[in-house]
Structure 1
Amino acid sequence: MEAAARRWLADQGVSQVRDGWVSAGAPDLLLTSNQVAHSWAGDVFAEEDLDTADRVRLAFGLLDLLDDYWVTCEIRFADDSAEGPLPADVLWEGYRQRLAADRDAEAVTYSLWVDWFEDRTTSATAFAEVLGNDIDRVVAERSEPLLRRAGRVLECSGPVPWSVKEPTYRTTLRLPALHPALFKGLRAGYHDVYGDLEPSAALSLLDELDLPADTRHMAELRHVLAAGHGNHYRSPHAWDDAVRSRS
């Protein structure tokens, strides 16, 4: 779809040059990928020659081409618009494919974290679609793309409600290769403003991780969870107390 996105941009008069992008309307003005995303990504969803599913695919092609978070914002806006929701199978397959790909996925994981996982109206569905529904397959197959996708989702899963993610977290214990990512998810669940942890259950998971005892922040996280704290922002001094207890 990246090639299709490039052709679509060319039809809009936008082309890539050595140091960025230019438009036919202002050929002497060099544009960044972010500027292209802000100016044209939303227009994909008004493309009359495409059905809704192909508009979504084209938008993901733009994401591949521009590697800019704003493209994911336009996808979310379209899903939440009066013409939405977008076809769920196409939407979430687009996320899954890019989470599994052997290329940078920062725009995708950031989108999951701040747009889908922090929103309690979408977090359960989003988490299920990108990992929860097929964690058993990840454990059974253990292929590199599946492990890559799972690791990326776990690392940004801090805001997902505990009741939603705990079963997936517990299944993940069967995959030592994902323990570092699971630890980052637990740590983010504590530190994220919208993070969600159940302290005793999270401590139980933490104790089962196969990680070096001196893993950075492991002792502090164990300390605050053992003290019954579930979120840094509800107990702002607890982490500092944990740090001092080690010195």
Structure 2
Amino acid sequence: MEMRAEEAARRWLADQGVSQVRDGWMSDEKPDALLTANQVAHSWAGDVFAEDLDAADQVRLAFGLLDLLGEYWVTCEIRFANESEEGPLPADVLWDGYRQRLEADRDAEAVTYSLWVDWFEDHATSATAFAEVLGNDIDRVVAERSEALLRRARRVLECSGPVHWTVKELTYRTAMRLPALHSAVFRGLLASFHDAYGDLEPTAALTFLGRLDLPTNTQHLAELRHVLAAGHKNHYRSPGAWDDALRSCS
């Protein structure tokens, strides 16, 4: 599916006069100027949503561009289109696009960054986004345990810091039934404390921490346990707490 989307995007760019060359990209308009993937994303990704295609095919084409270019800006254009007057985009196609790329055995940094800073940090969208990319599926992840599902779960858990605790608590609890996800739950808890918009409940998070099977030398495990035991919810609300933990646990 992804390769087909990527090839469709490559053909679409070719129709715009943009082609990949050995060291980057080239536009017919300026054949002497070598373009980066980021420049291509900024210049052409938004045009996908002006194409004479139905909205679902526009979304699929945009995700193909994401596969081809690997640039976060493509996800920004998808979000802009979702929030535009013509939006919202078809939710099934939008979230299926995210899920497929979270499951793929290839770099997903642009996708996870998009979830983290755009969908999860915005409390108007975080609950829906989290449910769509993991919360609705966590029971299936635990039951099936396929590599693709585990890959998606790990990636989402690790960037889920800004999601409201009440939204993610049950998903964390369910994920903890699988030892293969314990490290990802830990990183989710750590991000929930450290992210500027991170959210957790210290007592519940401390209980979860105590049930995780982690290597004893896991970096920042002792410090996180220390700040949670002291009742701290977030690094930015208690700016000295982490330094105190570092001193206490050294």
Give the TM-score normalised by structure 1: 0.99
- For residues 216 and 26 of structure 2, the distance between their equivalents in structure 1, rounded to whole angstroms, comes to 52
Q: How many residues align?
A: 246
Among residues 6, 13, 19, which one is paired with 1:15 in the alignment?
19
Aligned to 1:83: 86
Task: Report SS of the residue matched to 2:58.
Answer: helix
Distance (whole Å) between structure 1 residues aligned to residue 176 and residue 58 of structure 2: 38
Is it true that 1:215 corresponds to 2:181 in the alignment?
Answer: no
Partner SS state of residue 145, structure 1: helix
2:78 is paired with a residue whose SS is helix
The DSSP-based 3-state class of the residue aligned with 1:27 is strand
Cα deviation, residue 212, structure 1: 1.5
**1:38-67 deviation line (CA, Å, top 9, x unaligned):** 00000000001x110000000000000000
1:189 to 192, 203, 206: 192
Distance 2:23 2:217 in 1: 44
Partner of 1:199: 202
Secondary structure at the residue paired with 2:26?
Answer: strand
Per mean C-alpha deviation after superposition, the further-off stretch among 15-24 and 207-216 is 207-216
CA distance in 2, matches of 1:15, 1:156: 33
Q: For 1:76-121, what per-residue CA distance to the aligned partner results, in whole angstroms no more than 9, with x for missing partners?
A: 0000001000000000000000000000000000000000000000
**Match of residue 46 from structure 1:** 50
Please name the residue that 1:36 is paired with. Answer: 40
1:165 pairs, out of 165, 168, 173, with 168
Query: Is 1:26 matched up with 2:21?
Result: no
Q: CA RMSD in A?
A: 0.4
What are the within-5 Å matches in structure 2 for residues 86-97 of structure 1? 86-97=89-100
Q: SS at 1:153's partner residue?
A: helix
In structure 1, what is the Cα distance between the partners aligned to 2:176 and 2:72?
31
C-alpha displacement of 1:213 = 2.0
Partner Cα separation in structure 2 for residue 230 and residue 36 of structure 1: 41
SS at match of 1:42: helix
Letter in 2 for 1:35: Q
Q: CA deviation at 1:214?
A: 2.1
Which residue identity is paired with 2:246?
Answer: V
C-alpha separation in 1, matches of 2:41 and 2:217:
43
**1:156 pairs with 2:143:** no
Instruction: Indicate which of 109, 112, 127 corresponds to 1:109.
Output: 112
- Quote the Cα distance in structure 1 between the aligned partners of 2:174 and 2:159: 17
Q: Which ranges of structure 2 fall in alignment gaps of 5 or more residues?
A: none
Q: Percent identity?
A: 81
Three-state SS of the structure 2 residue aligned to 1:28 is strand
Aligned to 1:126: 129
Match of 2:9 in 1: 5
Q: Secondary structure at the match of 1:37?
A: helix
Between the aligned partners of 1:78 and 1:107, the Cα distance in structure 2 is: 17
Q: What is the identity, as a one-letter code, of the residue corresponding to 2:243?
A: D
How far apart, CA to CA, are the structure 2 residues paired with 1:51 and 1:80?
17
Counterpart-to-counterpart distance in 1, 2:197 and 2:95? 23
1:246 Cα deviation after fit: 1.8
Please report how far the alpha carbon of residue 30 of structure 1 lies from its aligned counterpart in structure 2 after TM superposition.
0.2
